[in-house]
Amino acid sequence: MRVAVIGLGWVAREVWLPRLVKHPDFDVVAVVEPRPEAAERAAALMGGARVYGGYEELGPREADLVFVLTPNHTHGALAGHFLRQGLAVFLEKPTGTDFGHLRLLEDAARDGGGRLLLSTAARHRADVGELARLVADGALGTPRHAELSWVRSRGIPGSDWFARRETAGGGVLVDLGWHVIDVLHHLWGASGVRHATALASSDFLTRAGWGADWHTGTAGLQNADVEDQLTALVATERYGMHLRFAWASHEAVDRTRLVLHGTAGTAELTTTFGFSPRRVSEPTLTLRQEGGERRVPLPPAGVGDEYDQQLDALAGELARPDATDRALREAREALAVVEACYRATSARWTAPETNS
């Protein structure tokens, strides 16, 4: 499958591009990047791949699949452009920073016939897969309450646009929270939001030494207006959520924790999502039922294996006739939780556009 990559930021250079180059199902034929120095590095890495400075230069017959890996605020316009050309588009999260972006994507896919796929790598983690088996086997019973957290010790992203709501759409909730909320919806199904209460803060953004040392770059902190920590309680139609996300904290390691409480049992997964070198020493999954508990064995897995697993599954996902409808539905469901939390943090905050 011929692939074009749009954007050569960190997630492209460190996550997707090296895997696409090695994967037997994909042939990277073109990259788009306006920065000359990044384009030069790409040309050296890709060999014969064509390098363009603007996305309009990529012809509709040059690729079968386009990876859009650009800053958040550009996702709607760029993905919409290629969907209107009838191309398949793989879109890095978040799908859109407001519901207007999602409507743009829906219209573009309908008018051009392109197919949309979303980055959902966390679903493909081996430890999440074992948690999914417990849910599918009925070990937890009816969903009641989920405790979800991803707390980094030191991990503020290094790209300038991450620190501004105008370009990122939000802070840690959009960056880390989207992944975890998507996993919950994958495990339990989405549920309509009834009410949310939330508290956001930015205690580490302007302090030196709290950046993600694996995420190169220097954040533009002088214009930062996003949160680096967020805690929320969300009541939905079927279950409750307790959320905590932090780019930086006083913890020694980066820890991702998913605790699912049901009528028949509680499952607790403690692990580390992402690429941070400060990881829990050993991921664990525990099932508790009727006062007893047992450890569920987890298969061995390397850092980033989930991205390889999603690429392995990509052809099958593309073949689904409902791929675009499914992607847009899941994006709306995740964005509904994100927006509800942001609305709850301040009476002064309003989303650029809502579905109300």
Per-residue model confidence as pLDDT tens digits over 196-249: 999 999 999 878 888 888 776 544 466 788 999 999 999 999 999 999 999 999
pTM exceeds 0.75 = yes
Which CATH superfamily, name and number, covers 122-307+339-345?
Dihydrodipicolinate Reductase; domain 2 (3.30.360.10)
Band of pLDDT at residue 162, cut at 50, 70 and 90: confident
Q: What are the extents of the domains in the chain?
A: 2-119, 122-307+339-345
Contacts of 180 (CB under 8 A, 6+ apart): 122, 148, 149, 150, 243, 245, 256, 258, 273
Fold of 2-119: Rossmann fold (3.40.50)
Say if residues 150 and 177 touch (Cβ distance below 8 Å): yes
pLDDT digits (tens, 9 = 90+) for 111-123: 999 999 999 999 9
Structure token pair of residue 74: 């550009």
Taking alpha carbons only, the member of 234, 305, 242 closest to residue 272 is: 305
